[in-house]
Structure 1
Amino acid sequence: MDRPRWLKLVFLISLLMLCHGRTNLAFKFKHQDYSHIYNQTLAKILAEYASAVYMTDLTELFTWTCSRCNDLTKGFEMIELIVDVQYCLQAFVGVAHDLNAIIIAFRGTQENSIQNWIEDLLWKQLDLNYPNISDAMVHRGFYFAYHNTTVRPVVVNAVKRTRKLYGKFPVMVTGHSMGGAMASFCALDLAVNFGIHNVQLMTFGQPRVGNAAFASYFTEHVPKTIRVTNGNDIVPHLPPYYSLFPQKTYHHFPREVWTHNIGIGTLVYMIEQICDGSGEDPSCSRSVSGDSITDHKKYLGIDMQADTWGSCRIVMDYSALQYQMDLAGNIVLSKDPVSPSIIQSITQEDNTRSNVQN
């Protein structure tokens, strides 16, 4: 056997041993009754939803005929699509009949959206006013992007209507980048403020959103949580974590699954490493320098960015869809006409937002 083939054989044997060890590690987590077990197939399904919400053609997205609206998400039933034009936010609520679950997806940071980048860079922390919690601080920009825009009242109403129609389906919330941060606040909101206990969160490349007290509170109320990180993706490293000030610094909640490549030459394989329950496992994404934007744009082989550079631009056939528009031009597309009370609550949110900013 020549030397190159011998080296490849040694590498493959080592890789199999590594994978075997990782399989045992995953089994160990399950045996010890950890709060959530990572499901690779479900991760890919939710990644496809997190990718689809980036689409700019609202007609194709709402009717689920877009180029990303197939494969593992085929047959999805859209209930509500929300577009906050003022802040370049987008989210949808619908039913995945193959999963018997309600899906909520939030769009992430838009590459050329000044509004989104301002929200991302507002790293100032805010006291979290939730029941039975103390010392919890959260990212001001991400918090307001969910709580003080058109998004929250429409999403909550859509979930209530869908559960009334289909029964108490579990709720799966997902998003990429800033969309992952908004998805986190949505999952916690549904669990704590609306008593929906079967809420599951899976995000991709999300930033840190709060301090250690918040991470602990979040884990208690949304235990079925997975944060997928990829390679050297820069965003999960932001805002920065300072190990010398663990109670004051931003702190991820668990459980992280770090995907990264190992190998040499043409023999490269993706590893999905299940991390510990701390939220800040030093052997996972924190073990590398978070300096890659490229690693942020694709997760599990799926594009996580807008389909056009004019990412805050929307395309819509206004004659073909039922929609409502508030005074600020924000759009709600609904399977059923949106009730006036919801449109009114959107207007009230706009007024509240203006008062907060002023």
Structure 2
Amino acid sequence: MSAVVVAFRGTQENSIQNWIEDLFWKQLDFDYPGMTEAKVHSGFYSAYHNTTLRDGVINGIQKTREAYGNIPIMVTGHSMGGAMASFCALDLIVNYGLEDVTLLTFGQPRIGNAVFASHFKKYLPNAIRVTNAHDIVPHLPPYYQYFPQKTYHHFPREVWVHNIGLDSLVYPIEQICDDSGEDPTCSRSVSGNSVQDHIHYLGISMHSESRGSCRIVTDDNMLRHKVDTVDGAIVFSKQPGLS
């Protein structure tokens, strides 16, 4: 085993509790050491910190590292799962002193104010937030540029996936944004009004038809990137012949 992967599923449309937490935008004081004036989204924070989920994640990581050594930890998630993954990655570093923790999220909402984003950047300088075209969720809770100290603020670094070109000459690009977390030339440059862009990332459908299911659905164009490894894992590579 080369890494521990901690993955948080996104909001399910048939989960009323999740949607209530998503829409509860009240900020609360963040009580991590040295992070005065940092505020975070109450619902997302509580979904990770105030449930048994946190203990399960920590126990799983500790047992895995006992068996395989201090292998790297990759934390990932989509939508609300991306918000929880962000709190998890920060928790592992600040409160448990774990090293070699990386974060990669897809279509996550804003989770804290500008002070929080600044502290987050110090602990996870290589975090990646992937956003897709007009995905509505990264635009929530809203960002108000005229109230920088009160508004929610993304942490860096965003990678915005979108199409460019005209007519038949359209192709996707992955734009690496600046380190402000709120690059006005990236996803903030367009309206966030698409649910479809939220549930489809990089050719993969993030939507689950039932509460208990967990699956990856790909379109036909993704099949050429698919590589089956000897240990049964499935890998998608831009250069499958070199994998």
Give the total of aligned pairs. Answer: 214
1:170 matched residue in structure 2: 72
Structure 2: which amino acid aligns with 1:268?
V
Give the number of the structure whose alpha-carbon radius of gyration is greater. Answer: 1
Letter in 2 for 1:157: N
**Larger relative contact order, structure 1 or 2 (CA cutoff 8 Å, min sep 6):** 1
Q: Which residue of 1 aligns with 2:206?
A: 304
Unaligned 5+ runs, structure 1: 1-96, 316-358
The one-letter code of the counterpart of 1:175 is G
Matched, 1:125 2:125: no
Letter in 1 for 2:175: Q
Query: Unpaired segments of 5 or more residues in structure 2?
Result: 215-243
Given candidates 81, 85, 88, the residue that maps to 1:179 is 81
What is the root-mean-square deviation of aligned Cα atoms in Å?
1.1
Percent identical pairs in the alignment equals 68
Equivalent residue letter for 1:187: A
Q: SS of the counterpart of 2:45?
A: helix
Q: Deviations over 1:309-336 (max 9, x none)?
A: x32x469xxxxxxxxxxxxxxxxxxxxx
1:155 aligns with 2:64: no
Equivalents in 1 of 2:81, 2:151: separation in Å?
22
* Aligned partners of 1:230 and 1:296 also within 8 Å: yes
Structure 1 residues 1-358: aligned runs within 5 Å: 97=1, 100-306=2-208, 308=209, 310-311=210-211, 313=212
The residue type paired with residue 24 of structure 2 is L
Secondary structure of 1:112's partner?
coil
State whether residues 199 and 224 of structure 1, in contact with CA within 8 Å, keep that contact through their aligned partners in structure 2.
Answer: no
Structure (1/2) with the larger helix percentage: 1
TM-score by length of 2: 0.86
Judged with a 3 Å threshold, the aligned counterparts in structure 2 of structure 1 residues 243 and 207 are, in CA distance, closer, same or farther, namely same
TM-score scaled to structure 1, two decimals? 0.59
Question: Which has the larger displacement, 260-269 or 217-226?
Answer: 260-269
What amino acid maps onto 2:180 in structure 1?
S
1:223 Cα deviation after fit: 1.5
- In structure 1, distance between residues paired with 2:124 and 2:99: 8
How far apart in 2 are the matches of 1:263 and 1:222? Answer: 34
